[in-house]
Amino acid sequence: MHGNGPNGGAFRDPAFMENREAPIHRWVPWIAGYSKYFVEDAITNYTSGPSIVLDPFAGVGTTLVEADLAGHDAIGFEINPYAAFAARTKLQAYRIDQDSLLRTADRFINFMQRGARRGDGPLTQPPAAFRTRTPFYSPKVERKVLLALDFIVDCPPLIADIYRLAFAATMVQYSNYSYEPSLGRKVTVGRPEVDDCDVAETIRSKVLQIADDAAWYRSARRKREHQRGQILNRSFFDGYSEIEAGSVDLLITSPPYLNNYHYNRNTRPHLYWLGFCSSPREMKHLEELNFGTYWQNARDQEHVDLDPCIEDATIRETLSTLRKKNPDKGLYGGNGWANYAARYFNDCVRFAQGAASCLRSGATALVVIGNSILQGVPIPTDRFLAKIAESHGFDIVAIHVPRNTRIGNSILDSSVRAGKANGNALYESVVELRRS
């Protein structure tokens, strides 16, 4: 199924890459985000007049920022405290005074220079429970990072958040790790470790970028009285009942894909260093809240059943084909992946139920989602999600495919994939649903 928006406008490519250049969106890198241009099109095509826009899986807030800029009320849910923090800080951009932020940048550099000359160590300590195979920072870099965190402690709240965000956005750059696209040691991809780096200047440049973008935001924002932009750091599945039933005019989202991309492991440095997480137990809890959880948490279960309300024969047959693949591979065989897929589609049910509760009749939901190939079995996640939504109060309007290749799929890159994709390509779709 292919189609266009109501005004004849097809969607622009939802890939995040373009956000790297766009004001506000460029503040933090986020591998699994989507493009602000896609969201912009969606908001233009599917709203008329002030609206409530919902993103149940908000990430670093692409939807929320675009909705806020266009003068709508925006509400998002996000379980990852670091992503939620980034989204919340972006939504505060209109409150940032460029001149006073610029003044702090000079104070910051002075503070860092004085700290470098002093003999005594920084007051801030590295996060005790954050363990890595190779030291995350060299001793020289770590000292500078800790000094920067000392500076932040004494800043007023909004300025502190901006510096914390500037640190978080750059922290991997001067570490011994990098994203390829999952977080791994630089040496394993042939890159040198970082012995030293001008941490103060790197953070300062980011703060200056934030100051520029905040000034732009204040002028570009189509402000309405009593306008509200908010992000809740909690699971949509537990939280949607707090949204007034039938009040949302437009839902734009991209849930985690069925590709086991590990949001929590990939943001471990941010979660620990910013103090959002202080133990592996807390990390585990986040994993359990994640849409579909992760293959690692499902693979050793005997048999995860599909929710009985998923009656579609194709979904059931696809999962039972997958389940029978490669029994000789034990935990790494088809059964483990079928368990993970069953949890994923069961969470599609929870998503559809939540979305159906929040949306007013006739409202649109646009869900960006990628397909999967597990153990050589193609899984058209877009069609399956659409089928599930259809039995929970939605009409399927169209499945748009803005582009047909995808990179960075952690399963295709890893040795756990069994068998070739049989010519099946990875693609991304926009599933367009209408609340009946």
Ligand X SMILES: C[S@@+](CC[C@H](N)C(=O)[O-])C[C@H]1O[C@@H](n2cnc3c(N)ncnc32)[C@H](O)[C@@H]1O
- Which residues contact ligand X (rule: CB under 6 A)? 30, 32-34, 56-57, 59-60, 62, 77-80, 83, 235-237, 254-256, 263, 289-291
Report d(CA 304, CA 293) in Å as an integer: 12
Minimal distance in Å, beta carbon 415 to ligand X?
24
Q: Would you say how long the chain is, in residues?
A: 436
Residue (269 or 334) nearer to ligand X, CB: 269
Residue (270 or 387) nearer to ligand X, CB: 270
Strand partners, 435: 394
Report d(CA 420, CA 391) in Å as an integer: 33
CB 54 within 8 A of CB 248: yes
Q: Which residue is nearest to ligand X (CB)?
A: 59
Residue (77 or 174) nearer to ligand X, CB: 77
Residue (61 or 122) nearer to ligand X, CB: 61
Minimal distance in Å, beta carbon 288 to ligand X?
10
Minimal distance in Å, beta carbon 14 to ligand X?
9
Report d(CA 304, CA 298) in Å as an integer: 8
Residue (27 or 174) nearer to ligand X, CB: 27
**Beta-sheet pairing, 372-374 with 377-379:** antiparallel
Locate 95 and state its tokens: 């409150």
For 106-119, b where at least 16 C-beta lie within 10 A, e where not — what string? eebeebbeebeeee
Minimal distance in Å, beta carbon 327 to ligand X?
30
Burial of 281: CB neighbours in 10 Å, binned 0-12, 13-18, 19+: exposed
Minimal distance in Å, beta carbon 395 to ligand X?
24
Which residue from 373, 128, 93, 387 is spatially nearest to 223, judged by alpha carbons? 93
Residue (104 or 346) nearer to ligand X, CB: 346
Q: What is the DSSP letter of 307?
A: P
Which residue from 378, 309, 282 is spatially nearest to 337, judged by alpha carbons? 378
Minimal distance in Å, beta carbon 399 to ligand X?
18
